[in-house]
Amino acid sequence: MKNIVIQGGTDGMGRALARTYLNRGDAVLVIGRSEAKGQAFLAEANAAGAGSRAAFLQADLSLVSENDRVVEEIGERFPVVDALVLCARHYLSPRRDTAEGIESSLALFYLSRYLLSHGLRGHLEKADRPVIVNVAGPGSPMGEIHWDDLQLKRNYHGLDAQMQGGKANDLLGVSFASLYDGGRTRYVLFNPGSVSTSFSGEYDAATKGHIEGMKRMAKSVEAGIAPIVTCLDSPPAEPLSAFVEGRRMSLDHPSFRLADALRLDELTRELLGR
């Protein structure tokens, strides 16, 4: 039995992955913001006779303090973590700071992944074939890191914030693999392509129309998670890898520059005050 932690496991691909691994007999802990969705996950697990292997942690992961709490609680529940899947996102058309004063998209889409990846690494290293799958956007032609304005205080747009988050997650994978060179945990960056999920977010009218159109054209959640399951079941041998819809992409690409990754890591630690 494996211990699997799924950030953003209350909806979309995270929820479908949670169901898949519970059905296989693994222990699955999902983290999400909605108490109702979390309780529905637990009720479904109970009904399937898998209640003792299912757990839900309610948390607003755009808060650094909540990520710290979650890391602690997961460590108490699972001394060994076999897989960490990172799926939480929430699109914001209006710019918003968290109660801790950090731009919300950066905080949820990037900082939470940073804190969980580093925070749970000790527990992952104890597993046989530990893997982190960061489901974001490697290979996207869009997006850039705004080095002098990471929180987009001067010129915010929701899409820009999401795309920057994708690039930041690419660099998180690069710095993680470099900083823990020789470690056992495999870091997989995964772009699922367009998948018809809840698309959690608060959208302006124009973006909402675009999202509804995308949902109609997108592949099913089952099709979206199939190649993620392959990565979780057979983690690649390399410390870092990137996939677009199941196809391996070369890391010899401007998105994966080590110098940029170390620069972002330093900026992140400054932002977090650690």
Ligand X SMILES: NC(=O)c1ccc[n+]([C@@H]2O[C@H](COP(=O)([O-])OP(=O)(O)OC[C@H]3O[C@@H](n4cnc5c(N)ncnc54)[C@H](OP(=O)(O)O)[C@@H]3O)[C@@H](O)[C@H]2O)c1
List residues binding ligand X (CB under 6 A): 8, 10-14, 32-34, 37, 59-62, 87-90, 108, 135-137, 191-192, 194-195, 197-200, 218
Side-chain-side CA neighbours of 69 within 13 Å: the count stands at 11
**Pick 88 or 106: Cβ nearer ligand X:** 88
* Smallest separation, CB 62 to ligand X (Å): 4
Q: Looking up tokens 């998670």, which residue turns up? A: 225
Shortest distance (Å) from residue 88 CB to ligand X: 4
90 vs 123, beta carbon nearer ligand X: 90
Nearer to ligand X, 39 or 234 (CB): 39
Residue 45 half-sphere exposure, CB side, CA atoms within 13 Å? 28
Q: How far is the CB of 234 from ligand X (least distance, A)?
A: 20
Residue among 26 and 60 whose Cβ is closer to ligand X: 60
Please say which residue, 34 or 178, places its beta carbon nearer to ligand X.
Answer: 34
Q: Is 121 helix (H, G, I), strand (E, B) or coil?
A: helix
Nearest residue (beta carbon) to ligand X: 12
Least distance CB 182 / ligand X (angstroms):
28
Structural contact between residues 22 and 227, judged by C-beta atoms closer than 8 angstroms: no
What is the smallest separation between the CB atom of 102 and ligand X, expressed in angstroms?
A: 12
Q: CA nearest 88: which of 106, 69, 109, 74?
A: 109
**Where does the chain have alpha helices with state H?**
12-24, 35-47, 64-77, 104-105, 112-119, 121-124, 158-179, 205-217, 221-233, 258-272
Helix (H), strand (E) at residue 57: strand 54-58
